[in-house]
Homo-oligomer: A and B are copies of this chain.
Amino acid sequence: MGDEMIISNKQVVLKNYVTGFPQESDMEIITSSINLSVPEATKDALLVKNLYLSCDPYMRGCMTNLVGPSIVSSFQPGKPLTGFGVMKVADSTHPNYNKGDLAWGFTKWEEHSLIVSPQLLFKIQHTDLPLSYYTGILGVAGITAYAGFYEVCSPKKGEYVYVSAACGAIGQIVGQLAKLMGCHVVGSAGSNQKVDLLKDKLGFDEAFNYKEEQDLDAALKRYFPQGIDIYFDSVGGKMLDAVLLNMRIRGRIAACGMISQYNLDKPEGVHNLMSIIGKRVRVEGFVTGDFYHLYPKFLELVVPYIRQNKIIYVEDVGEGLESGPISLIGLFTGRNIGKQLVIVARE
């Protein structure tokens, strides 16, 4: 460590803050350079090679010049995007990490990164599972699904569970956890191919293409004639409004995300909140960061399920850092089928 070894370092940078729908052209690929060693004076740091990068809807918020308190930070125009990823240690001044170790956590959208707070990373222990899973089911998406479903929704066997964006990084896990718990699970997604995937591969009891439904309320009444106990919401807007009309008494709505609203100047109005009173419905927002302490417990549950094929995880993989921009904006058109990630390097 401390040796000078400067190499070129491709990056995905934000060109300008975005309003409305993000475009591929809001980002660009540039080539910078980086020293492959941690500078000698920098204690407890890592120089990592980024292998897999996660594309997440929350990143849309980071493309905005956020003012005031927020749980996410704005990207800096001209600087690489930041996000979750899987990385391999190339150099370390941190006692817990050696060259060759694998980790996942917060990094930058570039080939190599200097990580000055490795205490925020998770060291990867189960290397027999696909490493890319640590951008999804074994990473933030997994903890989100687990905490949102078990901690926020307080599910019981036999309950009626509805998952929107059900083919997405988180939805597919929630649906499968709910099935394993003995719930009746219906998912919605934005294409017939995704609907087939939900029913044929991911074990959902039913699924529907929301884009083909004129009347979301009617669609929900068809799939939930008895009503919905649990709604895991990653969508918000019109879907949430329709769900509110179909909740059962003491139903729970976990507000995980509202992707339908992220590109709007003004969020849509939700008109049916009155129904939460008579139905005693609880609507609760949550943030994954509050539940990292459950990660070991989650792994104990989910790793065997994955090994036994009791939980399947569908990924949509962009090849190369260059595919980053199109992969990221595809989240907002529903282009991805399954968890969207980008492969920067395979090892």
Binding site for B on A (CB under 8 A): 70-72, 236, 240, 255-258, 261, 266-287, 290
The answer to whether A285 touches B277 (Cβ under 8 A) is: yes
Are B70 and A273 touching (Cβ within 8 A)? no
Docked pose: A277 CA to B255 CA in angstroms? 6
Whether the Cβ atoms of A277 and B256 lie closer than 8 Å is yes
Our pick among B255, B269, B273, B286 for the contact of A258 (Cβ within 8 Å) is B273
By beta carbon, the residue of chain B nearest A283 is B283
User: With a CB–CB cut-off of 8 A, which chain B residues contact A281?
Assistant: 284-285
* Chain B residues whose C-beta falls within 8 Å of the C-beta of A256 in the assembled complex: 277
Please state if B274 and A261 are interface contacts (CB–CB under 8 Å).
Answer: yes
Does A280 contact B286, Cβ atoms closer than 8 Å?
yes
14 A-B pairs (CB sep. < 8 Å): A240-B273, A255-B273, A257-B277, A258-B273, A267-B271, A267-B272, A267-B273, A267-B274, A276-B284, A277-B285, A277-B287, A279-B285, A280-B284, A280-B285
Q: Which single residue of chain B is at the shortest CB-CB distance from A254?
A: B277
For A276, give the chain B residue with the smallest CB separation.
B285
Residues A266 and B277 in contact in the complex (CB < 8 Å), given A282-B284, A283-B282: no
Quote the shortest CB–CB distance from A95 to chain B (angstroms): 34
Among B71, B271, B275, which residue has its beta carbon within 8 angstroms of that of A266?
B271
CA A47 – CA B99 in complex, angstroms?
87
Chain B residues near A283 (CB-CB < 8 A)? 273, 276, 282-284
In the bound complex, residues from chain B placing their C-beta under 8 Å from that of A290 are 280
Contact (Cβ within 8 A) B267 A268? no
- Nearest residue in B to A279 (C-beta to C-beta)? B285
Identify which of A240, A256, A274 gathers the most chain B CB atoms within 10 Å of its CB: A274
A287:B276 contact, CB within 8 angstroms? no
